[in-house]
Amino acid sequence: MTGYVYMTASQKRGTIYIGVTNSLCRRMPEHKSGEGSRFTSRYAVTRLVWYEEHFDMRDAIQREKSLKRWPRQWKIELIEKTNPDWNELFIGTGW
């Protein structure tokens, strides 16, 4: 089963949330409506700024655990490699 590791943010260089899911098209609307998690709802961490697809969910879960241990600056650098302006990557339902 395919898995996605993703990071959402409240704003550029703001609060970061790291999660894992088997469906970004299902998970992102959950976050945006406040149903995704208490953390994302409390801190308005709903802008998808980075994601990575894995063809095995176990690999995605391992990657998520690894990223959560990274220092904040490394996470920022990972996001800014592909999304320097922290733009919203989840646009509509075209997934």
Alpha-carbon torsion, ordered 22, 10, 70, 19, to 10 deg: -10
Q: What angle do CA 84, 88, 94 make, to 5 degrees?
A: 130
For residues 47-72, average pLDDT:
98
For residue 72, pLDDT over 70 is answered with yes
Rounded CA-CA distance 91/29 in Å is: 11
- Going along the chain from its start, the domains and CATH numbers come out as 3-82 (3.40.1440.10)
The predicted-structure confidence for 77-95, as pLDDT tens digits, reads as follows 999 999 999 999 998 655 4
